[in-house]
Every structure is written in C-alpha cells, then in structure tokens.
Amino acid sequence: MKTRKLSPKQAEIVELLRNGWELGVVSGYDTWAYVQKGKCGHGGEAKRCSISTYHALAKRGLLEEVRRRYPTIAYRLKSQSASHAEASSEPATDSPGAAPPPASA
C-alpha cells in the first residue's frame, strides 16, 4: 500500500504531538480542533488545527484517544516507533531488512 506524504500542516501538528502537545476535538454544533502544550484544557500554549487535518491524521491511524471529557476528546500520537514510520515525510517503501509477516495456520 502506498502512503502519501503528510501535508506541511499535518507534519507541523505531528511534530507538536511528538513534543508533548495534545490534540483536542471539540464536538457540538460547530466541531473544531486544536493542539495544546501539555494537556488539553489545562492551560499552556494552544493553536487551532483544522478539522480536516485531524481527520487526515486519524484516518492514517496516527492518533489514540487519551481521554473523553464532553465536549472535548483529547488525542496523542500512538507509540513513537509506530507513528514515526507512518508519519515520515517520505513515501513508504518496503524495507529490505524487514521480517516477513507470520504464517497463518
């Protein structure tokens, strides 16, 4: 499966998440998203994030839910090793040294 490169904004959000920020999605009549240094809703620098950027990262499987406190759901990157491979700025290629998948019985 070919993986598309992250857009510059997606890459910026992933970098912030790698540096300890959380992504919050606020649901309601006008759903919106933001990233905040530390924990969402606990103070700290915050930046708006487009909902389409959130959807793109979620669709790639890069996010995991941290907590759900209505109306906000907070996310962080999945484990660093898995998210780094998925979020690389280069298209995915087969690694020659990768182990083959386990045989099904």
Spans of all domains in the chain: 8-86
* Mean pLDDT along residues 59-81: 90
Strand order in the sheet with 21-26: 46-49, 32-37, 21-26, 72-77, 63-69
Look over the chain and give the mean of its residue pLDDT values, rounded to a whole number: 81
Of 38-42, 72-76, 78-82, give the lowest mean pLDDT range. 78-82
Percent of the chain with pLDDT over 70: 72
* Fold of the domain spanning 8-86: Arc Repressor Mutant, subunit A (1.10.10)
DSSP 101: P
pTM beyond 0.75: the answer is no
